[in-house]
Structure 1
Amino acid sequence: MEGTAAVNERKSERLLNLLIMLLVQRHFVAKDRIRSLLYPGSSRDAFEKMFERDKEELRSLGVPIEVGQMDAFFADEPGYRIRPDEFALPDIALEADEAAIIGLATKVWQHARLAEATTDVVRKLTALGVPVDVSALDIVQPRLSADEPSFDVFFEAVQERSAVEFDYVRSGQSEVTRRRLHPWGVARYAGRWYVVGHDLDRDAERLFRLSRVQGKARKVGPAGAYEVPPGTDVGEVARRLAPAPRLERAVVLARAGTGVPLRREASEITTAVVGPDDRTLWDRLVVTRSAIGLADELLGYGADVYVEEPAELRQELVERLSAVGGAA
């Protein structure tokens, strides 16, 4: 009999394939095509049940699946798609939308196991001669890393509703304690990954920073051991329980038309300023945000941004880029 972990892994890959398939095609996708590519070998009844569940799960994560007619002149069977402009993050603080992408997009681009699923569905569509727009994937590609060793364990436990046991060191302490948790979800806040859930030993809602987990976390007990309290917003819980982030003011030059996420956060934007080169126009952005992760994000923009201040931030970027250049 197939194990629960294998079943959940296959389900995760199927959800990712469905997300990618509906996102990279410019037109509505017929249900029969979805069935043949993503649910091969399933009976029609089984397909209908799985497809409905998968659609609702994606929608619960904030993915806007649109239903429409394949032909504007004929009322035939409806098709499905995800419009890139609707799936793009709106002009609000990122934290409000983290829950919609943490469980999906980060895993696609930062973990090889699910990155394989992404390339698989695109390869199938291309083989069928279906025009695909892989640039649509840039919308949900996060500039976040999920490289904490325990990330996968907690992510899978959330899906399976399994308890997790792990060793943990609290901030400012050296003592390692054993903790047991019913995880409700993982969230990114102020540049850090946290797991939120019900602490079995304290019998209370708790938050743990994944970077402070010692050794290897492990799932214990059966799947389906608990239910997440109705209406739980993991991102809100993380913001409420996590320590307040240290804010840093940065003045950054960005090439015209680039650095859209930075522009959304900027308190001031001055256009057509003198930049480090004259290949394009430059804009000056003033951003005040958490210092954690800021350097990582700026590095992701490559030659499209230049840090004017603070000098410490600029020096950090110079040193990290020099190290990469030296290694190459």
Structure 2
Amino acid sequence: MSPASASAEKTERLLNLILALKSARRPVSKQKIRESLPAYAQASSVEAFDRMFERDKDELREMGIPITTTVIDVLFDDEVGYRIDASETALPAISFEPDEMAALALAARAWSTASISGAASAGLRKLRLSGVEIDESVAAGAEPRIRTKEPAFEAVHAAVSALQPITFDYRRNDGELTTRHVQPWALKNWHGRWYLTGYDVDRRGERAFRLSRFEGPVGRRGRAGSYAVPTDHVPEVALEAAQPEPEGTAVVRVRHGRGHTLRRHAQRTTELNESWAEIELPYRRGTTDRDVVALGTHAIAVSPPELVDAVRSALLAVAQAHERVDAEPVGAEPVGARPATEPTRTGEQA
């Protein structure tokens, strides 16, 4: 018998035992249990049945299912019966405070990806069926959104949920395109980007992958449920370890209300005026410049020179692609230069 078949057979046997003991009005003897349940009736001997039943009984108790033992006949104290008290295993009525229901409604509306929004809606339906009234009007006016614009998101999310190995083409930091074979462990939104953590089969180790660097379709390789996620796996720890060492400190000016990804890494923030702030953060080539470029006119690269040059080059490439080449690209300024709209430092003359 295959491991999967043996596991399914054991699960069915435990479930049947739970149902039999919960539905019984009075304690059931061991002999009656053996006669009633086919899995036990097929035991090769009384000793085999006893071992199987004792293991199952202990496993159910470890799962938190209380099996009570009662003497059936006071004249024969060695004749015991077993039963599961339904009141001991029933869950209490589900109830939520108004603010908790509002949070549930907001959470269900937050996901903009079809696969996740379907699961969120199903969760709300189950709560309603159990008698929980959810007034979604309490969240009126709020439109939270968790965006998942990466094309690979749904396929990766499905693989993580199913514990199914995948393969995909991945663009590394140096631009090289490689094919990866991975056992996906977790999907995590970290500092504004989606990452996959998992076991890289070819490299024989834990790795982290940014979903925006996936190229082409994600393929499934292998059976669902063919591996287990390590119990000590913490996605944040893996992602922190995967970050390249900073090459120094970058100085960037950002408009108020913008640049949250940059601000999360800030080591120092100086408010310049009512519109601009200057932040210092670890400089990582290829990452910091992309974050600045993505902000367009809402950020100005100040230093180091290689950051300024990288931002300027990227914006020039965009301008050339749109046939709108300007002498002064928007969003990046030479070191020491100050645009007409640049913020004035605190204490300086305007």
TM-score of the two chains, using structure 2 as the length reference: 0.44
Structure number with greater CO (CA < 8 Å, separation at least 6) is 1
